[in-house]
Structure 1
Amino acid sequence: MGLIVKSWVCCEIWVIVGECHLLDVVWRLVDGIWLKMGKVMFDEIKNPTAVSWNVIVAVFIEMDDGTKAVFIDFFKMFQTAVRPFNFTFSNALIACSSISALKEGKQIHGVAIKMGLEDDEVVSSPLMDMYIKCGKLENAHRVFEQLSSKDLISWTSIVSGYAISGKTREARELFDQMPERNVISWNAMLAGYTRSLQWEEALDLVFFMRNATKDIDYVTIGLILNVCAGLLDVEMGKQVHGFIYRNGFLSNLVVGNALLDMYGKCGNLRSARVWFYLIISQWRDSVSWNALLTSYARHGLSEQAMTIFSEMQWETRPSKFTFGTLLAACANTFSLEHGKQIHGFMIRNGYEMDVVIRGALVDMYSKCRCLEYALVVFLESASRDVILWNSIIFGCSHNRKGRVILELFGLMEEEGVKADHITFQGILLACVYEGLIELGTQYFYSMSNKHYVMPRLEHYECMIELYSRYGHINELEKFIKRMPFELTVPMLTKVFDASRKYGCLRLGEWATKRLNELNPSMELNFQIMDRERK
């Protein structure tokens, strides 16, 4: 029966509506389970044209299936000797961007060059975007430089690429060279600054924008509110709030959530709560709830955050972000019972315990001095990345369980997880807690020699603490001489105290001199504490 129906449908389509109408039917079938039927109907076309291929590639992009769009359809099209349109290249490059398929994107780029389409504005912008999304900014810039005519879209694409990659200085240089700008260009540059937490530069751009253009949209307003939040400038935020009222942005949910977030981050919780309950009550979403909940959690008000969490469940389903925020609040306020309630809620309601949530649970239980629960959560994890390993290592560090840390590091190496600088900070702290001078020294030098992790300031601080605490003054003095940078005041203070305690006149006087140079207003005098001088 199924075959009869399929044959009848296809025959009727060919007789009555022809290929173009068949493609229209394909578009109508792209949602959900109908996508497969749409693909089957496309396969019934005996000699598909470039239009046909263009549509089916676009279908898979609409369904967020870039893999099929590129690997099944775009490259298969060349086997049929069909010459693709520029829009076909554009769709294929968008698909490559969605799955970070750099190799295939380069192949498509090569075909575009052979067909003389590299300079086509329909192809060039998605080509630059593909390289940017795949982390090849220099390739994107090369495409941009080779364009014979640079339009507003290509300028905006390259500025956005540098901005979102954190290279805001280069982005601003290009932005300043733009012959014309639109609201998307301004937003791209402003988003780059906010993404890089460069609040002062972002504020300067806002003032520049105010004098240069009246072109502004809800995205711009949201970004400006992010700047106010980053600067903790609630008064400026209130001015933006007034602008929102006067210019008709009040009913936009993105703006409403950004305003809520701004008040919360600036500590004006009363305004955040009033705005949430009285103003946006009719159109708030899960982002709104999370913003309000985060506002209270950020300021250590875990009890109120839990109340909001209870209210939230009547209106929307809590997300992973919700649980991460609540668990962080419980960890910072040592609210073990609230943390257990959240953990239990997740278990009862079948939430997935991925590595991010397990890391938050480990952190919460560890800081609440419930290490046995933290270890259970950690060991139950099916997959453990370096972040989760670091969470349990630092959890043990909070509880002064140095031997357990060293055992965990052994297991970590057995599983083949590559340690990073955070891991080694935890390991060196374990050696400090247990007084393992020789082992700590071995771990420190193995960082660069074996694990290719360059020691940072915090690792040198651990070693100075290790040698100072246990009176290994000779090793301490040798270590200081080999350090690649000057000692900080906390480091010098440890050296000063250790020299007094263990009677090292030479090193103590040196530390005293350096401390007095760094802080002349508080002159120190070195005196050994009732021990024989060395």
Structure 2
Amino acid sequence: MTQPSSTTSSKSTHSSSKPLYYRNNFVLAKLLRRIFSCSPSNIALPYARSLFDAIPSPDAFIWNTMIRAYLNSQNPHESMSLFFRMQLQKGVFFDSFTLSLVLQACGRSRDVQIGRTVHNKALKVGFGSDLFLQTALIEMYAKFGNLEIARKILDDMNDPDLVCYNVMLAEYVRVGEINLAHDLFDRMPERDLVSWNTMIHGYASLGDVGAAKKLFDKTCERDIVSWSSMIAAYAKSRQSNEALMLFHEMQLANVMPDKVTMVSVLSACGDVGALGMGKMVHEYIERNRIEIDLKLGTSLVDMYAKCGDIDNSLKVFNRMDERDVLAWSAIIMGLANHGFGELALDQFAKMISEEIKPNDIAFIGVLSACSHIGLVDRGWAYFTSMSDVYGITPKIEHYGCMVDIFGRAGQLREARELIRSMPFTADAIIWRALLGACRIYKNVELADEAIVNLLELEPHVDGNYVLLSNIYSQSKNWDKVANIRRMMKNVKIQKVPGSSSIEVNNCGL
């Protein structure tokens, strides 16, 4: 009797050691779907892949399930790799759905060559008029930057459905072609909530809040995306009171906010100093057990700091499981702005020790901290390290901080030389910082130069005239004081009384 080879024996043993369901593709397909529906993709995908790799003969449905899983987990390259492996399997044939997934993967990976190859393959096997495939082609060519080809595919379709139109609409919005998007929106035979939300988001992302609000007001139906897009548009354009009032309307409409909504609302609260509202939002998050992820945690840190509650800002920051450069920058800026200069610098040192590269915002906080506690040499060291160590080109805000550091320390000539060496024209903030230092140290000569430049930039701001008048008064130069008052009369300058922002509709959540 012939003995089986060791290889055959090994395979037989390996195969027989697996459960019977490994040979039932219907059961395996249901198991894979269950895995993906019950677990986050970062947990489900590795487990599903190990299961998939052990399947002796996966069918086309199982291949499609895995290709789609990688596409949904933002790994289009692996989707394409699986497609190429699928073609090598005997007895397994791709369908139009397979090709539509692969075309999407090509578009998202910007692989033009493979995309055109797959397109030609689809035409050869007779899938050219398939609705799934045509929709994927629209998205792919749009992501390649070929909007004309994408639009031609849409226009040449015999019976395009709403999904096709929405894909084209979304691609126009993604690249900022809002006029083309609106033209298509007007021509669409029908629209759904996705269509309206896409246009609202498009105008909002371009900063055209008025156009976004007109569309928002016209919608017959609104969901969480509609409300969140509009609230975010107001918050980003610094129309914070409008954002908070719209959030109140959202609550009256019984639409439950999500993390995206909360981030925008907290930004608005910080902008207008609405601490009470911000605390209620925080309580709502905790009461409803909404996960405080990196973005939401950073928003809470920033809101509390801007509203003057640095203790709660630190408390939230210290509880965060993960902290990126934005979170560190928020707490450094908050501490610096509240006069905790040494603590701000300590946090900066901790950030560096955790090997997180600082950004330009973190350096504004660090330089502000140095200014508050009078660390001239250390401030200059941080300033020069921006470009020398971290490859960050200082912006005008960083130069302004250094001018303030020199000015507060009485090093007015150094401040003036720094202004002259700047690679851009000084703004009003920088000249005002120098003028303020001139008042403290009674330097009339530099004050004259600063005010000439400042009045060119801000001829109607009363505070500039008042500041210069105080400098002349200190030096008992009464003729110039009188001259300043004449100038204010000539340009009709009146001292403006102070104003404050008030929380709008301090509503409960």
Fold conserved (TM > 0.5)? yes
| Separation in 1, partners of 2:26, 2:273 | 59
Aligned residue number for residue 366 of structure 2 = 365
| Separation in 1, partners of 2:384, 2:426 | 29
Alignment partner of 1:276 out of 282, 299, 304: 282
Q: What's the CA shift for 1:459?
A: 7.4
Aligned residue number for residue 324 of structure 1 = 329
Check the 8 A contact 1:359/1:391 in 2, yes or no: yes
Check the 8 A contact 1:362/1:375 in 2, yes or no: no
Quickly say closer, same or farther: Cα 1:145–1:392, change in 2 above 3 A.
same
Q: What's the CA shift for 1:140?
A: 2.5
Aligned residue number for residue 309 of structure 1 = 314
Q: What's the CA shift for 1:363?
A: 4.0
Q: What are the equivalent positions in structure 2 for 1:458-477 lying under 5 Å apart?
A: none
| Separation in 1, partners of 2:211, 2:230 | 12
Q: What's the CA shift for 1:202?
A: 1.0
Q: What's the CA shift for 1:374?
A: 4.3
Aligned residue number for residue 295 of structure 1 = 303
* 2:211 paired with 1:201: yes
Q: What's the CA shift for 1:34?
A: 3.3
Q: What's the CA shift for 1:358?
A: 4.1
Aligned residue number for residue 346 of structure 1 = 351
Check the 8 A contact 1:160/1:188 in 2, yes or no: yes
* 2:252 paired with 1:232: no
| Separation in 2, partners of 1:55, 1:236 | 41
Instruction: Report % sequence identity.
Output: 19
Quickly say closer, same or farther: Cα 1:298–1:77, change in 2 above 3 A.
same
Alignment-mate amino acid for residue 356 of structure 2: M
Aligned residue number for residue 483 of structure 1 = none
| Separation in 2, partners of 1:242, 1:7 | 67
* 2:143 paired with 1:103: no
Aligned residue number for residue 47 of structure 2 = 34
* TM-score, structure 2 as length reference: 0.65
Bigger mean CA offset, 324-333 vs 108-117 = 324-333
Check the 8 A contact 1:327/1:361 in 2, yes or no: yes
* 2:78 paired with 1:73: no
* TM-score, structure 1 as length reference: 0.62
Check the 8 A contact 1:100/1:133 in 2, yes or no: yes
Q: What's the CA shift for 1:251?
A: 6.1
Aligned residue number for residue 169 of structure 1 = 179
| Separation in 2, partners of 1:175, 1:377 | 47
| Separation in 1, partners of 2:179, 2:282 | 37
| Unmatched segments (≥5 aa) in structure 2 | 1-7, 37-42, 372-378, 404-415, 428-454, 460-489, 493-509
SS across alignment from 2:163: helix
Alignment partner of 2:15 out of 10, 14, 19: 10
| Unmatched segments (≥5 aa) in structure 1 | 401-428, 441-457, 462-488, 494-520, 524-534
Task: Report 1 or 2 for greater relative contact order, CA contacts < 8 Å, sequence distance ≥ 6.
Answer: 2
| Separation in 2, partners of 1:77, 1:89 | 12
Q: What's the CA shift for 1:77?
A: 3.6
Alignment-mate amino acid for residue 161 of structure 1: E
* 2:269 paired with 1:263: yes
Once the two structures are superposed, what CA deviation does each residue of 1:437-464 show, in whole Å capped at 9, x if it has no partner?
A: xxx9xxxxxxxxxxxxxxxxx6799xxx
| Separation in 1, partners of 2:361, 2:251 | 37
Aligned residue number for residue 509 of structure 1 = none
Aligned residue number for residue 244 of structure 1 = 251
| Separation in 2, partners of 1:288, 1:310 | 14
Q: Aligned residue pairs: how many?
A: 402
SS across alignment from 2:138: helix
Once the two structures are superposed, what CA deviation does each residue of 1:354-390 show, in whole Å capped at 9, x if it has no partner?
A: 4xx3444444434546131344465555xx4xxx2x2
Q: What's the CA shift for 1:258?
A: 4.0
| Separation in 2, partners of 1:277, 1:244 | 15
| Separation in 1, partners of 2:399, 2:250 | 50
| Separation in 1, partners of 2:227, 2:304 | 24
Check the 8 A contact 2:173/2:202 in 1, yes or no: yes
Once the two structures are superposed, what CA deviation does each residue of 1:3-32 show, in whole Å capped at 9, x if it has no partner?
A: 999754534567973444455566659836
Alignment-mate amino acid for residue 152 of structure 1: L
Quickly say closer, same or farther: Cα 1:269–1:193, change in 2 above 3 A.
farther
SS across alignment from 1:197: coil
